[in-house]
Structure 1
Amino acid sequence: MGLKSTLSRPLATYIARQYARWQHDPIGTQQRVLRGLLERGAGTAFGQAHHLGGVRTAQDFAWQVPVRDYEALKPWFERVKAGEADVLWPDKPLYLAKTSGTTSGAKYIPLTKDSIPNHINGARDALLHYVHRTGKSRFLDGKLMFLSGSPELETVGGIHTGRLSGIVNHHVPAYMRRNQLPSYATNVIEDWETKLDRIVDETLPERMTLISGIPPWVQMYFDRIVQRTGRPVGEVFPEFDLFVYGGVNFEPYRKKLLETIGRPVDSVELFPASEGFLAFQDEPGNPGLLLLLDAGIYYEFVPAERFFEKSPPRCTLAEVELDRQYAMVLSSNAGLWGYSLGDTVRFVSKYPFRVVVTGRIKHFLSAFGEHVIAEEVEQTLREAMRQHPEVEVVEFTVAPQVSDDPAVPSRHQWLIEFARPPHDAAAFAAALDASLRQRNVYYDDLLRGHILAPLQLTPLPAGAFQRYMKSQGKLGGQNKVPRLSNDRTLAEGLLGVG
């Protein structure tokens, strides 16, 4: 066993004990975090405008600071972006994380001196918890590959600006950088397909032990490995032991990824965002992600079904219920205040508080009043694939198909790119319909009432999703395909490039 793997074990024990301390009092920990944020933020322009200095309780805070998304907070972010100090947090941020926005183009999320450790330590602690729980640390002695965005930064308002994954790349400890792939020269390549070929060139001769990234882009990397060698990934890299992923639900990709690897490997799920590193899988085999409560982030949770009300209720950690959908609201030492993250979660345990990520609050399908969410369509697909084990899915999305003909009912359209299609497409579509009806009573009612017809399954040709993402300038990196949408924009785009 190498030096890194040997030294990681006592460090993993130390970190696990630190986490155990705040897990003993999670509610008190969150109250302490809120007090600390208020003390630091009271003197900022935002703090003075919202009277943060007079806030004493969570209820006071909810009264003084409304829930707002990036668009609503954009005037404040624009002042930060222009180089003004003491706007949302003392001084200026160290970085701006540039990320894609749905309505306003690029978003610029501040990363401060106080918030950067959350991003760095969150990923580190996820791996150390894995070491602590399993005793496995050999992977630290091999090569670690992180599929990410370019680490090249630009300057906006005197502030270094770039993709979050690229910013974090600059803070990888020196002792880990020797193990890290791809190289800097490869990582800065903007064209994803060119970059991917270079990554394959660099990794094939190496002793790869950990591979990390968003599942669909990792699958592209695996496919290139298989194409180049004619062998499964697990044979090409016999010491590849750990797959680390985040950003999307792994389940729709699991079967094809594992088949491409050719053997089982351990996995760790992360919940990173430009706004903060929020949770990670602290127990192998437990799908719940441990919410990080002592990392400079104060959480509030809005019941998803009430999110679009004028004044929706805001639950503190003490008030959340198990197995209920919540939209996440963050306030943090990055200068975010009452910030609607856009992600929805469901609590699967308390003490410790663990969540599963269920989708995006704006990514739902309710063109006919059914309010289908991402978690439901992902579970639906998984159940249909269980009934049809020959099926492998590359990517999919669901859109409404509204009929202009009163004699022809409207329906959902499932656009699926198959690696292996079903033997009986009609039976597979029926399995999808039956599974979704079980999970969503409104959808079931609409079919029973003949308001909707059974769904339409539309297989897409190989590479359709890649071609569409490329046409949008979103191929690779941290970009994700929405699971569902309330209009036809994505569906028509896919059909247009298919």
Structure 2
Amino acid sequence: MSLKSLAAKIFAKRIVAKSQKWIQNPIEAQEKVFANLIENAKNTAFGRDHHFNTIKSYEDFKKQVPVRDYENLKSYVEKVVEGEKDILWPGQPIYFAKTSGTTSGVKYIPITKESMPSHIEAARNAILFYIDESGESDFVNGKMIFLQGSPILKEKNGVKLGRLSGIVAHYVPGYLQKNRMPSWETNCIDDWETKVDAIVNETLKEDMSVISGIPSWVQMYFEKLQEKTQQKVGDVFPNFKLFIYGGVNFEPYRAKFENLIGRRVPSIELFPASEGFFAFQDSQKEKGMLLLLNSGIFYEFIKADDFFEENPERITIKDVTLGVNYVLIISSNAGLWSYNVGDTVQFTSLKPYRVIVSGRIKHYISAFGEHVIAKEVEYALKEALDDTDIRVNEFTVAPQITPESGLPYHEWFIAFEKAPEDLVAFASKIDKAMQLQNTYYDDLITGKVLQPLKITPVQQDAFSLYMKSIGKLGGQNKVQRLANDRKIADVLSNYKVAHN
């Protein structure tokens, strides 16, 4: 064992032990975060407008601070962007994470000197928890890569501006700099396809041990590696020992990844966002990701089924229950207050608090009252793929409300890497799994309001072509799993392929 591996094990043990204080006292940890946030922000413009100096409890906070999305917080954010100080948080942010919203156009999410360390520590601690539980640390000696956006930052009224992954690239610790791939020059390439080609060329001869990124874009990197070498990725990189990912559920990609790699590689799931780093997978043995309760973020939850009611109930972690679909609401030391992140989560454990990401509150299908969410379609596909050699590159689901004949149905657009011999039987397996999970959907099928789902196979690169057409190929961009309209479906219809 190298000195570096040994040091990683010792450090991991120390960090895991230190984390137990808040893990074992979660409600106390959140109460402390809440009190600190209110105290620090009481003299900001937002704090004065919402009478933070009178807030003594969470009940006071709920009465005085309504739930907002970006659009409703925009008047404050615009002042921050214009260079005004003490608006949402004391002083000015050190960065704006630039993201694209579906309704707001470009969004500028503030990152402060208080919130930035949490992004870095959470990513580091995810690896340290893995080392401590598994005892594996040899991978720290190899090369590591994170497929991310360009680290080139612009400036807006004295504040640096860029994609979150590009901002984070500036915080790679010194002891990892020699191991880090790709080179700075390659990382700065904007065009995603050109960038991936350059990464392939740079990493081909390296001893890659850790590979990280959104699964769909890592998949493109693996495919290009295989195309160039005519070898499995696991043979090109025999010491590839850890895959780190976030942003989407990995399960729909797992079979394809194992085929590309040639073996199963342990993985760690992360739950990062521009608004904060919320959770990471702390155990290979338990389902879900550890919710980070001491990192400057105060969490609220609203049942997704109630979210669009006039005054839905807001609760804290002490009142959540297992298996319920909640909209995630945060207040943070970046100056976001009762902010609707847009993600929905379900708790898989309450001791400690672990979550899975179940979807997006705006990404669902309920054209007929079925309330289908991303977690359900991903699980149904996984069930149908289990114990088969069928492999899926990518997929999305949309309602077909006005078919040429027969009842409406859910249309699944799937890019197969290895298609099923019997597409109808495969669709039936997915449909049965959907009915078992979602009683609304089951009622609509059995009540003959909907007919069972249908699969429309599309060419293997259909989703890459679609993402390229909307300027979102690569980086942190993800394919939308499902939609309540036909915008994505209508584009993908241009890439249909025949299936026997």
Shorter-chain TM-score tier: over 0.9
Structure 2 residue aligned with 1:409: 407
Is 1:237 aligned to 2:218, yes or no? no
Structure 2 residue aligned with 1:440: 438
Amino acid in structure 2 at the alignment position of 1:436: M
Structure 2 residue aligned with 1:82: 82
Deviation at 1:106, TM superposition (A): 1.3
Structure 1 residue aligned with 2:316: 316
Q: How does 1:42-191 map to 2 (within 5 A)?
A: 42-191=42-191
Secondary structure (helix, strand or coil) at the match of 2:171 reads: coil
Is 1:454 aligned to 2:464, yes or no? no
Secondary structure (helix, strand or coil) at the match of 1:365 reads: coil
Distance in 2 (alpha carbons) for counterparts of 1:210 and 1:330 = 31
Cα displacement string for residues 74-102 of structure 1 (whole angstroms, at most 9, x for unaligned residues): 11111111111111000000000001211
- Consecutive aligned runs of 4 or more in structure 1 exceeding 4 Å deviation: none
Amino acid in structure 2 at the alignment position of 1:132: D
Cα displacement string for residues 54-90 of structure 1 (whole angstroms, at most 9, x for unaligned residues): 1111111111111111111111111111111111000
Structure 1 residue aligned with 2:202: 202
Cα displacement string for residues 387-422 of structure 1 (whole angstroms, at most 9, x for unaligned residues): 6x02100000000111177x6311110000000001
Structure 1 residue aligned with 2:17: 17
Structure 2 residue aligned with 1:253: 253
Is 1:490 aligned to 2:488, yes or no? yes
Distance in 2 (alpha carbons) for counterparts of 1:185 and 1:4 = 27
Amino acid in structure 2 at the alignment position of 1:494: L
Distance in 1 (alpha carbons) for counterparts of 2:226 and 2:213 = 18
Distance in 2 (alpha carbons) for counterparts of 1:372 and 1:157 = 43
Q: How does 1:375-390 map to 2 (within 5 A)?
A: 375-386=375-386, 389-390=388-389
Q: How does 1:343-382 map to 2 (within 5 A)?
A: 343-382=343-382
Deviation at 1:18, TM superposition (A): 1.2
**Structure 2 unmatched ranges of 5 or more:** none
Secondary structure (helix, strand or coil) at the match of 1:56 reads: coil
Amino acid in structure 1 at the alignment position of 2:33: V
Distance in 1 (alpha carbons) for counterparts of 2:114 and 2:444 = 50
**Structure 1 unmatched ranges of 5 or more:** none
Distance in 1 (alpha carbons) for counterparts of 2:466 and 2:278 = 30
Distance in 2 (alpha carbons) for counterparts of 1:21 and 1:451 = 53
Distance in 2 (alpha carbons) for counterparts of 1:66 and 1:225 = 49
Q: What TM-score comes out, normalization by structure 1 length? A: 0.98
Cα displacement string for residues 150-178 of structure 1 (whole angstroms, at most 9, x for unaligned residues): 00001112210000010011111122111
Q: Percent identity at matched positions? A: 54
Change (3 A) 1:376 1:404: closer
Distance in 2 (alpha carbons) for counterparts of 1:193 and 1:2 = 37
**Which stretch of the first structure deviates more once superposed, 229-238 or 449-458?**
449-458
Deviation at 1:496, TM superposition (A): 3.1
Cα displacement string for residues 260-308 of structure 1 (whole angstroms, at most 9, x for unaligned residues): 1111211111111111111111111322100000000000011110011
Deviation at 1:368, TM superposition (A): 0.9
Amino acid in structure 2 at the alignment position of 1:448: T
CA contact (8 A) 1:255 1:392 kept: yes
Secondary structure (helix, strand or coil) at the match of 1:121 reads: helix
Distance in 1 (alpha carbons) for counterparts of 2:125 and 2:188 = 27
Amino acid in structure 2 at the alignment position of 1:90: P
CA contact (8 A) 2:303 2:326 kept: yes
Q: What TM-score comes out, normalization by structure 2 length? A: 0.98
Secondary structure (helix, strand or coil) at the match of 2:397 reads: strand
Distance in 1 (alpha carbons) for counterparts of 2:85 and 2:3 = 44
Change (3 A) 1:497 1:87: farther
Distance in 1 (alpha carbons) for counterparts of 2:161 and 2:367 = 38
Secondary structure (helix, strand or coil) at the match of 1:344 reads: strand
Structure 2 residue aligned with 1:307: 307
Deviation at 1:497, TM superposition (A): 5.2
Amino acid in structure 2 at the alignment position of 1:44: T
Secondary structure (helix, strand or coil) at the match of 1:139 reads: helix
Secondary structure (helix, strand or coil) at the match of 1:279 reads: strand
Distance in 2 (alpha carbons) for counterparts of 1:496 and 1:40 = 53
- Aligned-residue CA RMSD (Å): 1.1
Amino acid in structure 2 at the alignment position of 1:117: P
CA contact (8 A) 2:458 2:495 kept: no
Distance in 2 (alpha carbons) for counterparts of 1:242 and 1:339 = 33
Structure 2 residue aligned with 1:4: 4
CA contact (8 A) 1:468 1:497 kept: no
Change (3 A) 1:404 1:462: closer
Decide which of 410, 421, 432 is 2:419's aligned counterpart: 421
**Which stretch of the first structure deviates more once superposed, 378-387 or 456-465?**
378-387
Structure 2 residue aligned with 1:470: 468
CA contact (8 A) 2:459 2:495 kept: no
Distance in 2 (alpha carbons) for counterparts of 1:71 and 1:287 = 34
Change (3 A) 1:497 1:459: closer
Distance in 2 (alpha carbons) for counterparts of 1:245 and 1:254 = 12
Cα displacement string for residues 25-53 of structure 1 (whole angstroms, at most 9, x for unaligned residues): 10011001000000001000000000111
Structure 2 residue aligned with 1:430: 428
Is 1:393 aligned to 2:392, yes or no? yes
CA contact (8 A) 1:214 1:245 kept: yes
CA contact (8 A) 1:390 1:423 kept: no
Distance in 2 (alpha carbons) for counterparts of 1:338 and 1:290 = 21
Distance in 1 (alpha carbons) for counterparts of 2:297 and 2:476 = 22
Distance in 2 (alpha carbons) for counterparts of 1:340 and 1:104 = 14
**Which stretch of the first structure deviates more once superposed, 53-62 or 110-119?**
53-62
Distance in 1 (alpha carbons) for counterparts of 2:147 and 2:172 = 14
